[in-house]
Amino acid sequence: MNKKILAIFLLSILFTGFLPALLSQNEDGKSITIKVPAVKRVESGLEGAVFDATVFTKPGSGRVFVDTWPLSELDTQASCRFASVVASDILKVPHSRYDYFYTIRADSPVIGGPSAGAALTIATIASIKKLDIDPHVMMTGMINPDGTVGPVGGILEKIMGANAKGIKVFLIPSGQSVIQIIEEGKIDTVNVIEHAKSRWGITVIEVDDAIDALWYFTGYKIKEEKPPSKVIVNTDFIKEKALSEFVVVEKLSKNTSHKLDSETIGYREYQTFNEFLKRANSNIDTAKNNLSKKRYYSAMSNTFNAKIQLNYISDSIDVLVNKDSNIVKNKIEAAQKELDEANELISTESLSIRGITSFECLAASEKRAIEAENLIADAWKNFYNQKYYDAVYYADFALERAKTAKLWMDISKENSKGESIIDESQIKYNASQRIEDARLSLIYAQTLIGKNTLLTQSSELLTAAENEYEKGKYAAAIFDAIDSKVRSSVSIELWSSGEDVIKQRLERAKEQAGGAIYLARKAGGEPLMAESYYEYASTFEDSDKINSIILYKYAKGVAFALRFLEPIEEISTPQDGAVIEKTSTIVAKKSYNYVAYFIGGLLIGLIIGGIAVFYTKREIYR
């Protein structure tokens, strides 16, 4: 054969063979299709089913597109949106850096539910990082906001469906390897791991979180810096103030008690004030105990409450005995004066935020100043309605709140030295992202749960964050948005959970909060507010585990509050975020995608090469 003809023929085959494989690697992202187990309703009850979920990501602005057929229930669509948020959080990249496309396809309608969330999160991570998914691995589990995998139903039915697709490894949420099934009125306990292995040869594995699951699907682990097993957290920065305030409040308690006993007041008023005195002394006793354990922030919180209660008793007695409303008016004006001074300090601080320490102190001060402002408004409202005792209480509360706003500005001056300046535009951008994250978490939680106390609190905090953002109080907005997301997250994670699960979540929240504080310190600066809430959380571990979990998670959120700062100059390409590393998996991964691409390309190449040879020969023999 003519050498020219042969060269054309071979080049055509090789080029066309490699072309599909090259084109499959879209520079914007990788299209990932993952098989997701589900259940569908049949005449005999529930039956396992499998649907395809295709995820594609590309640089964008945080938009999420969901295309489902047959039409799915709202919680499936919410799971897609939430998977995008959790995946970006795990990879430590801003959610707004990408657009996310989810395509759900099933042969028949499947029962809606959040159980696809974990699998969708894995597929999203794989798309962003351009990883291959092992087709022999499948997973069921709800995804929680912190990346943990939540419980689901229909596990046996789902494994049955997976068996029909040739699945070798099936991942389930931690703690669900032993389940109970009801058949013909009888309750049987089934060990899912043993049953699946003996009946279908499928290896069932419990996983705690999406990071664990990622390894089984891709062979990659998220490379994270491990903090020490025990992180030392203390609040010595506020020690001197806590000790001096305790001396003040003890003296105030004695003076107030003497005043209550010596003044001539009616029986009903005496009983009311005496109840307040008991509460104040209880707070003082708790403060004393916290001081003995070197919990200085917690002790400050106790003395703060005690001072409000004691001042309320003393001021109310003055109003009652002297029958002079000017006492109330003067008290409100004193609170306003204290607040004006605090706002002046806050205004100066916001012009030069010096790293995490300065930022946290600014946020703490802004939040307290806003609270004092609202309390003063309530005080005036009650004053004009001649409800003087209520007005006194709000005024005393506002005064102490304004004082703590000033206190955190003093703490900032003493502790935020040598840290780099953060531009206000960066804080503003961070606030907008935190508010959007909190809003999505709340919507997701409401879709799953409906209403409860934590979600009501989350909604109120989100509204507060939005209002603070509009007023330019960006640091406070970040704190309230974090708090809002925490409460939505805890609501989801503890949804129908027993005492054992709550205890596990508490241990995990505490460990993660300590790790966040360690990493924040390593990045430079001291996360004082995070340390304060970590300490405060420890005081509720026995008495109120759920509140303790909330505070530990809040401490973690505050320590990571400045994780996503938009650069002052816009970056056109996504940040790398978390580092991933390849390790071996329990299932030998074989991806035939590129082989298929190459074979398909060769066939096309043969056709094109044949045509080229045919016409070349015609030219030669013409």
**Tokens at 131, concatenated:** 């990883």
Question: Which residues are known to be catalytic?
Answer: 115, 158
Report residue 265 CA to chain centroid gap.
52
The three-class DSSP label of residue 422 is strand
∠ CA 610-616-617, rounded to 5°? 90
Amino acid, res. 175: G
182 touches 153 (CB < 8 A) = no
d(CA 568, CA 427): 11
Distance spanning both ends of the chain, measured CA to CA: 17
DSSP 45: E
The β-bridge relationship of strands 98-105 and 64-69 is parallel
d(CA 62, CA 51): 25
d(CA 483, CA 173): 26
What stretches of 465-521 adopt beta strand conformation (E)?
A: none
Look at the block and give the residue holding tokens 């007695």. 317
d(CA 430, CA 488): 19
d(CA 90, CA 308): 43
∠ CA 354-356-359, rounded to 5°? 65
Maximum Cα–Cα distance across the chain: 127
* CA-to-CA dists, residue 440 to 407, 435, 473, angstroms: 34, 9, 21
